[in-house]
Amino acid sequence: MPHVAPPLHWDIFCRVIDNHGDVGVCWRLARGLASQGQRVRLWLDQTDALHWMAPGALEGDWPQIEAWAWETEWPHERLANLPRSDVWVEAFGCEPPEGFVLQQRALWPSGEAPVWVNLEYLSAEPYVERMHRLPSPLMSGPARGWTRWFFYPGFTSATGGLLREVDLLARQAAFARHAWRDQATPGGAPTWISLFCYEPLALPWLLGRLHDDSETTLLITPGRAEAAVQRWLGSHAPPRHWVRRPLVDQPGFDEMLWACDLNFVRGEDSLVRALWAGQAFVWQIYPQDDNAHHTKLHAFLDWLGGPADLRDFHLFWNGMGGHPPPDLSPGRLRDWANVTEHARARLLQQHDLVTQLLGFVMEKR
Ligand code: TRH
């Protein structure tokens, strides 16, 4: 590694469970592969988010990438002339449609198969290192006899790594933070916080803190975060330094995180972006019914390290006990930013996910 990969045809399958993370991760992966000369067809069962996350994607404006609606009806008329593809990536175990598998199977001579990868959820739990790159032979169905491989993103060199664009560091170096802030809201207060969350039980604590704090600009993202803030405000108008953000494309979202001193992020993709941003952050993990996310959050915090107040705040923000910090002073945010910087430096020493995936595919072909 890194491998020089010949241009291959990839199919990425994405089924939206909820929110934006499924599309967000798949689109970043598609872009990363395309930037390495790969040809990607991205199948999405819900395409709405792509309109704002990646304008032009559905219109075919992105070289090397085709975004296709994953029809509910299969076989699908466009399958008739679909050429053979070399690599299949099913995001988060979503299973390619049977019609697709049948059509493609007929194009492969016996004894040969595409490299079929199940790109899993991101976790810092120890099982990830054990499961990464393991085969899962298919014992039944139209792909019987073929193999699907587990590919786990992660935070250590024994995992598949994280999505990181080739030009990320150059873009960050060229980023003009103050100009971005001036453009976002002229005359904003000195400390900037972004809010991208679900409905954390601790949200009233945060909003209560910030309501009368004229030193802090709060950027509120659309959707669940904005609705939760609105519920808290009721019929009252927001304070002057609270700014409603529009939905922006992924590079624009990333820049918001670079521009802020503290980022509240959620789910999977924005956590990674908060790490790359190198600023203080607090993560709201995607909640699971059986509380499996508790173990997952602890594993991440163990990997991250950092002072007790940062860990406590994470627990508090996620409704898992803990308690809030006495303040969100610039000094405390700088301490937390140092933790992120340190984590980022460790991650930069590892190969990114696209490089690792290309290497894996070359090995298995
Ligand atoms: O939206 P999410 O909560 O997605 C979640 C998680 O992925 C979770 O693990 C998964 O199980 C669940 O979906 C189904 O948070 P996440 O992962 O951060 O994804 C948000 C994406 O939206 C990310 O790619 C950034 C993008 N985004 C923009 O591009 N522009 C914007 O303006 C905003 C607000 C978000």
Instruction: Report the pLDDT value the prediction gives residue 80, as an integer from 0 to 100.
Output: 79
pLDDT tens figures, 259-291: 999 999 999 999 999 999 999 999 999 999 999
Ligand 1 centroid from CA 147, angstroms: 30
Q: What share of the chain is helix, strand, coil (3-state, %, to 5)?
A: 40, 15, 45
Asked if residue 302 has pLDDT above 80, the reply is yes
Question: Residues 22, 90, 120, 352: which is the catalytic one?
Answer: 22
Please give the Cα distance from 50 to 31 (Å, whole number): 13
pLDDT tens figures, 80-128: 789 999 999 999 999 999 889 999 999 999 999 999 999 999 999 999 9
For the domain that residue 115 is a member of, what is the CATH number? Answer: 3.40.50
272: its two tokens: 């990674």
- What are phi and psi for residue 150, nearest 5 degrees? -80, 130
Please give the Cα distance from 134 to 120 (Å, whole number): 12
- For residue 122, which atom of ligand 1 is closest to its CA? 9
120 lines ligand 1 (CB under 6 A): no
Domain count along the chain: 2
Residues 118 and 229 in one domain: no
Residues 89 and 174 in one domain: no
Angle at which helix 269-277 crosses helix 250-259, to 10 degrees, equals 50
194 lines ligand 1 (CB under 6 A): no
Asked if residue 72 has pLDDT above 80, the reply is no
Q: Give me the half-sphere count of Cα atoms (radius 13 Å) on the Cβ side of residue 201.
A: 12
Residue 4 lies in a domain: no
User: What is the mean pLDDT of the segment spanning 233-260?
Assistant: 97
Residues 60 and 179 in one domain: no
Known catalytic residue at 302: no
User: What is the mean pLDDT of the segment spanning 221-230?
Assistant: 98
Q: Probe ligand 1: pick from 255, 269, 283, max atoms within 8 Å of CB?
A: 269
Please give the Cα distance from 279 to 270 (Å, whole number): 13
CA dihedral (153, 159, 163, 165) in degrees, to 10, reads -170
292 lines ligand 1 (CB under 6 A): no
Residues 56 and 176 in one domain: no
Asked if residue 74 has pLDDT above 70, the reply is no
Q: For residue 313, which of 336, 295, 296, 293 has the smallest C-alpha distance?
A: 336
Residues 338 and 299 in one domain: yes
User: What is the mean pLDDT of the segment spanning 50-55?
Assistant: 98
Known catalytic residue at 22: yes
Residue 206 lies in a domain: yes
Residues 129 and 180 in one domain: no
State the pTM of this model.
Answer: 0.97
Instruction: Report the pLDDT value the prediction gives residue 73, as an integer from 0 to 100.
Output: 67
Ligand 1 centroid from CA 267, angstroms: 6
Q: For residue 281, which of 350, 224, 337 has the smallest C-alpha distance?
A: 337
Residues 26 and 111 in one domain: yes
Residues of the chain with pLDDT > 70, as a percent, come to: 98
311: its two tokens: 């860990």
Domain with 67, as residue range(s), is: 9-161+351-364
Instruction: Report the pLDDT value the prediction gives residue 79, as an integer from 0 to 100.
Output: 79
